[in-house]
Chains A and B, each alone.
Chain A
Amino acid sequence: MNKKFPIWLHFVLTLAGLVITLYMIFLYAPEEMTMGEVQRIFYVHVPAAWVSLLGFIIIFIASIVYLMKRSQHADELAHATAEVGFIFCTCVLVTGPLWAKPAWGIWWTWSPRLTLTFLLWLLYVAYLMLRSYLVNPGRAANLCAVVGVIGFADVIIDYMAIRWWRTQHPQPVIMGGANSGLDPRMLATLLVGVGAFTILFFLLVRVRLSLAEMRRELSEIRHALAFKLSED
């Protein structure tokens, strides 16, 4: 991430973004006709979904860069993004039922967004599990990069397949389909929410990356020590 964009500034922006979003969610956006107040979860649910998808796109790019250049930075970025993306993805799956039950009386539905997010969540789990369960951590970068690439191919297929599937088996559109007649104030709130979540996402990834950097430095010190110890 940019050194020219100091983390304190990033933090302030994130905070500002979240505060503005909260304001807009509760005080600016109008109340939805049929669902009432509970509909406001939408402004968290959708940005979180967007950010989870963004996360996997970044994992994909980082994986490709790693495979081409063996860059450890790329690998660390992929790992950090996976951890943060996983959290946001879980958020979507939690806010989904929280919204659906009061609003439509059902806990779950295989709407396009929920289906995609669920499959994405499974991919995140697979990726993180692989990282944790490797016998030889030195191989983590290679193997996870491969999973990152194949996983992203799967995400693209998910997206296309879900769209096709829904033309065959149409469902009543709930949980806010794409631009399903949003009041302009709602749209504005949504967009601000997406922006704020994205900034938050990158902040968290950055923090996680600095942890990885510290680990790497520690490792390098240990390596140097291992060298020194056998100077005899």
Chain B
Amino acid sequence: MPPGDHIAKPSLEVRNVTKFFGDLAALKEVTLGIRCGESALLYGPNGAGKTTLMRMLASLARPSSGEVLFGGENIEHDGTRAKSAVGFVSHATFLYGELTVRENLQFIGRLFGLSHLEKRIDAALEMFDMRAREGVFARDLSRGLQQRASLARAFLHDPNFVILDEPFTGLDHQSVKKLSDLLQRLPEQGKALLFSTHDFEQGAAIASRLIALKAGRVRYSGTLDSAPFKSLGIVRANGRTHDE
């Protein structure tokens, strides 16, 4: 893919970030960052704070305390650079049901101010095998296809930082394989990847780094292969794994 429109400084990080929802602490004094060229698996049980953390990195949520930094600068002052460089996939697809896949991408593309929009849309649809269905209304797509359309939306502006919250949800076996291959190639393209999944082996096949989150705290952040699986409650054997 052609290089992104913005040359981003190579880091997106949170510093000492805490997030409260009422009295519930979703994140507690979390400090971590991702750099271009690395791919990290964000792993943890339900309610660990993964989604909150990813939303924060995608500028959708503000911390109760602490900072979110892009290229060393707090995104609160000028969030546009961060937003231009981040592609985010979530449980919600951010697609208008009444518009076709292509129309959705056209709309998003215009919001991002992208040049050569039609070509980019073609490329993004190609990436996720959605060209055949570009004229289908988003509301008429199955869950898995909506997910692929959402992925196309996230990659449309060729972001340097790709943040995916359980991107494999709803995808069939072939699509999982394709997405996995695509994600594996991101580091060598100079991009950063942060994603979560409940299938540890699936994640381990893609990521070189592991960030283990539990009850809002970072339990481990480092290379995946040398992670203390046992103390993190991750069992790896015969391709099957589960957390405690």
Nearest chain A CB to B75 CB, angstrom units: 16
Contacts of B29 in A (CB 8 A): 227
Q: Confirm or deny: A230 has a beta carbon within 8 angstroms of a beta carbon on chain B.
A: yes
Nearest CB in chain B to that of A221: its residue? B23
Q: Confirm or deny: B216 has a beta carbon within 8 angstroms of a beta carbon on chain A.
A: yes
Known pairs A227-B28, A227-B29, A230-B217; list 10 more (Cβ under 8 Å): A136-B21, A219-B23, A222-B23, A223-B23, A223-B25, A226-B24, A226-B25, A226-B28, A227-B25, A230-B28
Nearest CB in chain A to that of B25: its residue? A226
Contacts of A136 in B (CB 8 A): 21
Q: Confirm or deny: B228 has a beta carbon within 8 angstroms of a beta carbon on chain A.
A: no
**Which 3 A-B pairs have CB atoms at the shortest separation, nearest pair first?**
A226-B25, A230-B215, A222-B23
B20 & A223 in contact (Cβ 8 Å cutoff)? yes
Q: Bound state CA distance, A230 and B213, in angstroms?
A: 12
Q: Confirm or deny: B2 has a beta carbon within 8 angstroms of a beta carbon on chain A.
A: no
Q: Confirm or deny: B22 has a beta carbon within 8 angstroms of a beta carbon on chain A.
A: yes
Taking CB atoms and an 8 Å cut-off, the chain B residues in 7-34 that contact chain A are 20-25, 28-29
Q: Confirm or deny: A138 has a beta carbon within 8 angstroms of a beta carbon on chain B.
A: yes
- The contact string, 1 if C-beta is below 8 Å from chain A, for chain B 110-151, is 000000000000000000000000000000000000000000
Q: Confirm or deny: A181 has a beta carbon within 8 angstroms of a beta carbon on chain B.
A: no
Taking CB atoms and an 8 Å cut-off, the chain A residues in 217-232 that contact chain B are 219, 222-223, 226-227, 230
Check A138/B22 contact, CB under 8 A, given A230-B215, A230-B217. Answer: yes
Taking beta carbons and an 8 Å cutoff, which residues of B are in contact with A? 20-25, 28-29, 214-217
Q: Bound state CA distance, A230 and B47, in angstroms?
A: 13
Can you name 20 A-B residue pairings with CB atoms under 8 Å?
A136-B21, A137-B22, A138-B20, A138-B21, A138-B22, A219-B23, A222-B23, A223-B20, A223-B25, A226-B24, A226-B25, A226-B28, A227-B25, A227-B28, A227-B29, A230-B28, A230-B214, A230-B215, A230-B216, A230-B217
Taking beta carbons and an 8 Å cutoff, which residues of A are in contact with B? 136-138, 219, 222-223, 226-227, 230
Q: Bound state CA distance, A230 and B45, in angstroms?
A: 14
Contacts of A137 in B (CB 8 A): 22
B23 & A226 in contact (Cβ 8 Å cutoff)? yes
Nearest CB in chain B to that of A224: its residue? B25
Q: Bound state CA distance, A226 and B21, in angstroms?
A: 12
Nearest CB in chain A to that of B217: its residue? A230
Nearest chain A CB to B50 CB, angstrom units: 15
Contacts of A230 in B (CB 8 A): 28, 214-217
Q: Bound state CA distance, A138 and B22, in angstroms?
A: 7
Contacts of B28 in A (CB 8 A): 226-227, 230
Contacts of B215 in A (CB 8 A): 230
Nearest CB in chain B to that of A136: its residue? B21
Nearest CB in chain B to that of A230: its residue? B215
Q: Bound state CA distance, A226 and B20, in angstroms?
A: 10
Nearest chain A CB to B92 CB, angstrom units: 15
Q: Bound state CA distance, A227 and B28, in angstroms?
A: 7
Q: Bound state CA distance, A226 and B28, in angstroms?
A: 9
Q: Bound state CA distance, A219 and B28, in angstroms?
A: 15
Contacts of A223 in B (CB 8 A): 20, 23, 25
Nearest chain B CB to A98 CB, angstrom units: 42
Nearest CB in chain A to that of B28: its residue? A227
Contacts of B217 in A (CB 8 A): 230
Contacts of B216 in A (CB 8 A): 230
Nearest CB in chain B to that of A226: its residue? B25
Q: Bound state CA distance, A217 and B100, in angstroms?
A: 50
Nearest chain A CB to B34 CB, angstrom units: 24
Q: Bound state CA distance, A136 and B62, in angstroms?
A: 14
